[in-house]
Amino acid sequence: MADINGEPMIVHVWRRAVEADIGPVVVAAGEAEIVDAIKGMGGKAVLTRPDHPSGSDRIHECLTTLDPDRKYDAVVNLQGDLPTLAPDLPGRALGLLDIGEVDIGTLAAEIGEASENDNPNVVKVVPIQETVQKDRCQAKGFTRKPMAVGASPIWHHIGLYAWRRDALERFVTLPPSPLELRDKLEQMRALENGMRIDVAFVDTVPLGVDTSADLDRARSMLE
């Protein structure tokens, strides 16, 4: 709900999602204040349980509520702290589901600075090397640890997910996995249970607003 140039941040994120133009946009939130902000702009929002352990559980509740007849077989989970997101990125993640074996699509951008590789808050993609193409790969894992610098790029993971609906429904029934708990990386639960995650390579990492300095940057970018 942080103000960005006269509007709550969630409104900016909702607008980016609408601009993506890949399907209906719904904000799922555990707080009535967020739901009211979106509805006040003419958008659609659903009030979910406030105690979900993850965004994946929240969008599963929302999808089940809105689409009991299973009209939609995929959903993109876009976090509410990405107000400067390029509108083409959700579609890039969704497009990875064009291969039937892919359960989840996500994004990554090449790391250019050593400080990012060393930063444990920057999650890196560990690709299956033989699957690496110009614009995508299959993920072997994800790590917070620095990766060896060599001929291959190091990829900064972007936490935007396109879920095949069947995979999401299975995921939320699974207990947290050992590597998920160790590294605090929810996506490792999917990999440890045999799900396939593919990654699309994009040009830049969208600004995630986690601090007051990030908020100031977002205000400047959107002014």
Is there a contact between 124 and 140 (Cβ–Cβ < 8 Å)? no
| Alpha-helical regions (H) of 67-203 | 89-95, 114-118, 165-171, 178-183, 187-192
Mean pLDDT of 10-17: 96
| Residue 204, pLDDT score | 87
β-strand partners of 199: 106, 137
Which residues of the chain are in CATH 3.90.550.10 domains? 86-205
Domain at 86-205, CATH homologous superfamily: Spore Coat Polysaccharide Biosynthesis Protein SpsA; Chain A (3.90.550.10)
Query: In the structure, what pLDDT confidence band is assigned to residue 30 with cuts at 50, 70 and 90?
Result: very high
Mean pLDDT of 150-174: 94
Region for residue 169 given its phi and psi (left: phi exceeds 0; alpha: psi -120 to 50; beta: otherwise): alpha
Alpha-carbon distance of 196 to 193, in angstroms, equals 9
- Kindly state the helix (H) or strand (E) to which residue 220 belongs, with its residue range: helix 212-222
Burial of 160 (0-12, 13-18, 19+ CB in 10 A): buried
Rounded to two decimals, what is the model's pTM?
0.93
Question: Each residue of 66-87: pLDDT tens digit?
Answer: 999 999 999 999 999 999 999 9
Mean pLDDT of 182-211: 94
Tell me the two tokens of residue 45. Answer: 């929002």
